[in-house]
Amino acid sequence: EVQLVQSGAEVKKPGESLKISCQTSGYTFSSYWIGWVRQMPGKGLEWMGIVYPGDSDTRYSPSFQGQVTISADRSSATAFLQWSSLKASDTAIFYCARLVSLGRAFYFDLWGRGTLVAVSS
């Protein structure tokens, strides 16, 4: 079965660092882009960035460039999203999702269940 399993909810303080994970199974990890999507409380979806595990190529939304780091580990078929210094405004649910290229375009065909990150002093 193809699935993305995300790490559990986190409660952190402003200024702390954090790395959340998305472990994949059931498909060739290195052959698909995998990305992260933010959903702030009661709000819509925001694309943050993606990584191609085959060569670690990454692309970021301008809104998130420099704010987070996206990476992947082929040996464990896991993607990561990390912050070096969290802010209260980082409080959100973060979804990992597999990106498929259907011809010329890119869509998210498989999603994890989400990781809730709560940042509060």
Partner 1 sequence: EIVLTQSPATLSLSPGERATLSCRASQSVGSYLAWYQQKPGQAPRLVIYDSSNRATGIPARFSGGGSGTDFTLTISSLEPEDFAVYYCQQGDNWPLTFGGGTKVEIK
Give Cα 28 distance to the centre of its chain: 18
42 binds partner 1 (CB under 8 A): no
d(CA 97, CA 121): 30
DSSP, collapsed to helix, strand or coil, labels residue 70 as strand
Is residue 89 close enough to count as binding partner 1 by CB under 8 A? no
- Residue 90 backbone phi and psi in degrees, to 5: -85, -5
Please, what is the minimum distance in Å from the beta carbon of residue 4 to partner 1? 9
Q: Are 7 and 96 in contact (CB under 8 A)?
A: no
DSSP β-ladder status, 10-12 and 115-119: parallel
Answer for which of 23, 61, 67, 71 binds partner 1 (CB under 8 A) is 61
Q: Does 94 bind partner 1 (CB under 8 A)?
A: no
Size of residue set near partner 1 by CB under 8 A: 24
87 touching partner 1, by CB under 8 A: no
- In the list 68, 105, 117, 121, the residue contacting partner 1 (rule: CB under 8 A) is 105
Beta strands at 18-25 and 57-60: parallel, antiparallel or unpaired: unpaired
> Based on CB atoms, which residue is closest to partner 1, 80 or 108?
108
Q: Which is nearer to partner 1, 75 or 104 (CB)?
A: 104
